[in-house]
């Protein structure tokens, strides 16, 4: 039976980041991916390291730490991960949203974010094609983006060059502890062994928990996205509507149709390095149905035409859906599990997993190596559910 220092379950951006930092510490690592690398949310999402959307607190601190890491990652990995720092704007077009957004900006400034409220004139200067009647916007210069597919590829090739072994195309049949070592039997009956196991199975993490009789309160939160043809850049900054932030942080303030609220829709409008705009997205609770719906995509695209009338004739070339790993209290779970020595969870990042991946991987590697975590994230411990 092959033995490893650490086995990672899940080949998304979180699992790969954990694997990367463990291989940097010379650990012998195996990665198990049920399907293909990037098959989950990390291959079906937006691309933002959006500091403005992070709740002031530990999540924001982790995002700031991750952004710092991302800035140097292309060089560190010798692979272009598509990092761009374009800044971001949250457009406010309803009077009642202003006090909430003003207060939000104040709190984020306390964390040292370079963020400010700007008026319509300043918005138009940066984004001349935005509709008339914007009341104000928040502007954050630090908001950045990466290509999650490139990040995963870069982590993977670095890990493989450091000896990581990958078990692809097979899920896990059995997971049991044998005298302090975890024995993991795959669906194809191969068994491997390791002192440490990291559950980084994203929206499927609960299933892994069941194998060792623990409940991990993580559910899929579906997001649908429409992709435009390649178009010239309308303005440097990526754009969100205040509805997008408010429907995440204070849904009762969203002033829209019931259907709109049910889908958790708000405008998210970002341009990839290749020139396509990603128009998103929904936040739909419930199931693992990967289909996209015509009605929902129309809701998203109508919104973009409302904010950017110039786009009315631009074509949608594809649509897709992904499943955010959404924890019951909206915070990630990053810790060892009490009473299950050597079993770690790195999951539940919801809509923030791209932004939080480097810091998550770094801290999990520190935990496994019994080092003091570089950031105190005890509030993300699984213990809060016991
Ligand atoms: C529409 C949308 C937009 C988003 N936009 C952003 C954004 O702009 N910025 C941001 O920071 N975040 C964003 N997110 C969130 C982000 O995509 C996720 O938080 C992140 O990708 C989660 O990564 P993960 O590695 O935990 O999970 P996943 O990427 O889902 O990876 C989990 C992996 O585990 C595998 N797996 C499942 N079961 C098993 C098993 N039994 N055995 C082995 N492997 C298994 C799956 O096949 C999958 O590959 C968005 C998400 C969506 C859906």
For residue 254, pLDDT over 90 is answered with no
Q: How confident is the model at residue 231 (pLDDT cuts 50, 70, 90)?
A: very high
pLDDT digits (tens, 9 = 90+) for 175-228: 999 999 999 999 999 999 999 999 999 999 999 999 999 999 999 999 999 999
Instruction: State the pTM of this model.
Output: 0.97
Q: How far apart are CA 98 and CA 90, in angstroms?
A: 11
Write the residue with the smallest CA distance to atom 19 of ligand 1: 353
Q: Report pLDDT for 320.
A: 98
Query: Homologous superfamily of 2-44+149-217+329-385 in CATH?
Result: FAD/NAD(P)-binding domain (3.50.50.60)
pLDDT digits (tens, 9 = 90+) for 257-283: 888 888 888 889 999 999 999 999 999
Give the number of the atom of ligand 1 that is nearest the alpha carbon of residue 47.
8
> Residue 258: which H helix or E strand, with range?
helix 258-263
For residue 255, pLDDT over 90 is answered with no
Ligand 1: does its nearest atom lie under 6 Å from the Cβ of 56?
A: no
Dihedral angle of Cα 289, 295, 300, 305, to the nearest 10 degrees: 160
Domain locations in the chain as residue ranges = 2-44+149-217+329-385, 88-141+219-327
pLDDT digits (tens, 9 = 90+) for 122-167: 999 999 999 999 999 999 999 999 999 999 999 999 999 999 999 9
For residue 248, pLDDT over 80 is answered with no
CATH topology of domain 88-141+219-327: D-Amino Acid Oxidase; Chain A, domain 2 (3.30.9)
Q: Report pLDDT for 374.
A: 94
97 CA → ligand 1 middle, Å: 31
Q: Tell me how many degrees the CA angle 125-225-127 measures, rounded to the nearest 5.
A: 5
Write the residue with the smallest CA distance to atom 51 of ligand 1: 45
First to last CA, the chain: 33
Same fold, 2-44+149-217+329-385 and 88-141+219-327: no
DSSP state of 57: T
Q: Which residues pair with 225 in a beta bridge?
A: 280, 320
Ligand 1: does its nearest atom lie under 6 Å from the Cβ of 283?
A: no
Single out the residue of 351, 328, 350 nearest to residue 280, CA to CA.
Answer: 351
Which of 286 and 141 is assigned the larger pLDDT?
Answer: 141
Q: Tell me the best of 324, 346, 348 to mutate to test the pocket of ligand 1, counting ligand atoms within 8 Å of each CB and taking the most.
A: 324
Give the number of the atom of ligand 1 that is nearest the alpha carbon of residue 37.
49
Ligand 1: does its nearest atom lie under 6 Å from the Cβ of 97?
A: no
User: How many residues are there in the chain?
Assistant: 386
């Amino acid at each position: 039976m092959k033995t490893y220092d650490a086995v990672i379950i899940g080949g998304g951006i979180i699992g790969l980041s954990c694997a990367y930092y463990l291989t940097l510490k010379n650990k012998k690592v195996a990665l198990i991916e049920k399907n293909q690398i990037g098959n989950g949310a990390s291959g079906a999402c937006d691309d933002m390291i959006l500091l403005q959307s992070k709740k002031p607190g530990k999540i924001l601190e982790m995002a700031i730490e991750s952004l710092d890491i991302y800035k140097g990652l292309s060089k560190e990995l010798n692979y272009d991960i598509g990092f761009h720092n374009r800044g971001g704007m949250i457009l406010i077009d309803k009077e009642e949203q202003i006090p909430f957004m003003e207060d939000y900006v104040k709190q984020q400034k306390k964390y040292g974010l370079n963020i400010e409220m700007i008026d319509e004139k300043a918005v138009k200067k940066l984004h001349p094609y935005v509709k008339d009647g914007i009341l104000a916007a928040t502007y954050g210069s630090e908001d950045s983006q990466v290509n999650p597919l490139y990040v995963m590829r870069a982590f993977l090739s670095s890990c493989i060059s450091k000896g990581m072994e990958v078990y692809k195309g097979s899920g896990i049949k059995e997971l049991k502890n044998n005298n302090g070592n975890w024995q993991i039997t795959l669906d194809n009956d191969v068994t491997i062994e390791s002192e440490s196991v990291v559950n980084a199975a994203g929206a499927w993490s609960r299933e892994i928990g069941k194998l060792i009789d623990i409940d991990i309160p993580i559910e899929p939160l579906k997001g649908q996205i429409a992709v435009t043809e390649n178009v010239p850049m309308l303005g440097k900054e990526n754009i969100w509507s205040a509805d997008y932030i408010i429907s995440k942080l204070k849904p009762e303030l969203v002033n829209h149709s019931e259907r709109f609220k049910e889908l958790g829709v708000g405008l998210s409008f970002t341009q990839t390095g290749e020139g396509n705009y990603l128009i998103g997205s929904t936040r739909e609770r419930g199931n693992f149905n990967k289909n996209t719906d015509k009605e929902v995509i129309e809701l998203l695209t109508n919104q973009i035409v409302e904010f950017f009338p110039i786009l009315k004739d631009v074509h949608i070339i594809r649509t897709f859906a992904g499943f955010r790993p959404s924890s019951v209290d909206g915070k990630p779970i990053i810790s060892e599990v009490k009473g299950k020595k050597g079993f770690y969870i790195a999951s539940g990042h919801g809509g923030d997993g791209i932004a939080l991946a480097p810091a998550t991987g770094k801290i999990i590697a520190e935990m496994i190596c019994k080092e003091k975590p570089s950031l105190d994230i005890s509030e993300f411990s699984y213990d809060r559910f016991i």
